[in-house]
Structure 1
């Protein structure tokens, strides 16, 4: 079951905007993070939940999606996420942002797996300006955005493929806008 959730948990960049996500659904995703490991059990994160259309509309233009596809504008107009979770580090708990980078990945992956279980999907977005997000959301000085998680009901086709002869792991889209994600074979990653 976990392996199937992992296969379904893709970096979605197209969403059905008619499927709104509720605050309760976002709270449930964040609640899952409380059970994850944390370096020295510090648990330094706080979560800003955005599901109101006006707040989502403040965050979306501050994000940059699919850096490997610079010729495309993603998400396509009319296919934006309907919610965001802004993972913030509370620097009052610990000011060392780099120390907890692995923890950020753990909590984000946990939320995304829980989203997939609910028939939702998302994308971790690290390509944004933390100061702009902080200002747009009027976050307190001691809260630093460390990762954005876009969420919604996926509205695109993503296909996992094996890395080809050329060794490229670059994702790409075909003429039908199908998104392909090359993955290395198991025997190629074992030492």
Structure 2
């Protein structure tokens, strides 16, 4: 069961934008993080859900998409995320979340896959502009933007060849992701 979720959990970058994710569904995904391990048990991560289409558009214009695809500026209108969860570190609790950010982001994406959605964890964003769009107080630091929606693209996992880990796209839009084998990960 877990392996099936992991195989479906890809970095999706194109979505059926008209398939909306409700605030309730986002709250359910955030709720999963309550069960995650937390360094020092600080539990300092919080989330800003974004479901409104106008605000989603404003968030979208503050993101960078798929760094290896140099000729692609991100999903076109109609293929953009229908929701976002903005992961925030509450620096009034701690200054560093250790590894909590990755644990929780992965948990959210696995939960999204279980609901028939998919997403992409984005670290490339215009920090100050995005903070302004979201009207965030100073003590909340943006860690990641988790883009969510109903996936519209075909992601193909393939064996990594010659150490080339860069993902790529075919003319038909299929997104190829090279992966190392388990034997290559064991020393």
Partner of 2:55: 55
Structure 1 position 101, deviation (Å): 4.5
Partner of 2:9: 9
Structure 1 position 155, deviation (Å): 0.4
Structure 1 position 28 matched with structure 2 position 18: no
Partner of 1:155: 152
**Structure 1, residues 38-97: CA drift from partner, whole Å, max 9, x if none?**
100001111100001111111000000100111112213320000000011111111x2x
**Structure 1, residues 115-138: CA drift from partner, whole Å, max 9, x if none?**
000000000000012222111111
CA distance in 1, matches of 2:135, 2:18: 27
8 Å contact kept, 2:18–2:78: no
8 Å contact kept, 2:45–2:97: no
Moved over 6 A (4+): none
**Structure 1, residues 148-188: CA drift from partner, whole Å, max 9, x if none?**
00000000100000001x22011000111100000001111
CA distance in 2, matches of 1:175, 1:48: 36
Partner of 1:66: 66
Runs of 5+ consecutive residues of structure 1 not aligned to the other structure: none
TM-score (normalised: structure 2): 0.97
Structure 1 position 10, deviation (Å): 0.3
Q: RMSD between aligned alpha carbons?
A: 0.9
Partner of 1:184: 180
Partner of 1:168: 164
Partner of 2:76: 76
Partner of 2:100: 103
TM-score (normalised: structure 1): 0.95
Runs of 5+ consecutive residues of structure 2 not aligned to the other structure: none
